[in-house]
Amino acid sequence: MADHRDPVAVIGLGRFGTALALELVAGGTEVLAVDNRPEVVQRLAGQLDQVVVADSTDLDALTEIGIADVPRVVVAIGSSLEASILTTALLSELGVATIWAKATTRQQATILERVGAHHVVFPERDMGERIAHLVAGRVLDWLEVDPGWVLAKARPPREVVGVPLGETGLRTRYRVSVVSVRAENETSFTHADRDTVLSYGSVVVVAGHPDDVERFVDRP
């Protein structure tokens, strides 16, 4: 099983792959970045320590760059469905321990899983859903941690302001939990408990089913 300190390979250096590789490096993770376009590799050479030109649909090319020795690989190819699928299949054939793959549709995700992807992500869809919640309602931020569970950052409805959380009956009435709070005029969040009292200037992090969270944060 891959360890969180193990290196990561990112194949495909479009917007998503580049952002991912740079963020991993910023967090201290060793990254092998791969793309088949020399101009892209040259542009990123000064920002990433290990960035190489290789055709990820060629088994010999993948073997030559030692991809089989990298325990975690992200297939971030977005421009070619065929290349994404073939790359994923070859990584599986080489025995890569953990393969992440980018998909744009559920059909593509199904195919990627069938050829060997262990995890499939939908960056465009996920970002679109997140932005939709920010634009449409009172949510300050939105994170889906599971299809049936989200964390949302929002201002508290007035009916829970000035009352200890333990007396609001949130879980019974709204089926949500306030897990963190940033008090008015404070700069950081802290744990919320049953004795926490919210003000109108507070910001809370609420956990629950998406529909329940939306109903709660949309209350005036």
pLDDT in tens, 26-53: 889 999 999 999 999 999 998 998 999 9
Beta strands in 55-138 (DSSP E): 72-75, 98-102, 119-121
Domain boundary assignment for the chain:
8-121, 126-217
CB 143 within 8 A of CB 130: yes
At residue 104's C-alpha, the angle toward residues 101 and 109, to 5°, is 50
Q: 131 pLDDT exceeds 90?
A: no
Fold of 8-121: Rossmann fold (3.40.50)
Q: In whole angstroms, give the CA distance from residue 85 to residue 67.
A: 16
| Candidate from 3-17, 88-102, 104-118, 129-143 with smallest mean pLDDT | 129-143
Distance between terminal CA atoms of the chain? 48
| Candidate from 69-78, 113-122, 142-151 with smallest mean pLDDT | 142-151
Superfamily the domain 126-217 falls into = Regulator of K+ conductance, C-terminal domain (3.30.70.1450)
For residues 12, 15, 20 and 25, what is the CA-based torsion angle, rounded to 10 degrees? 90
Tell me the residue type at 197: V
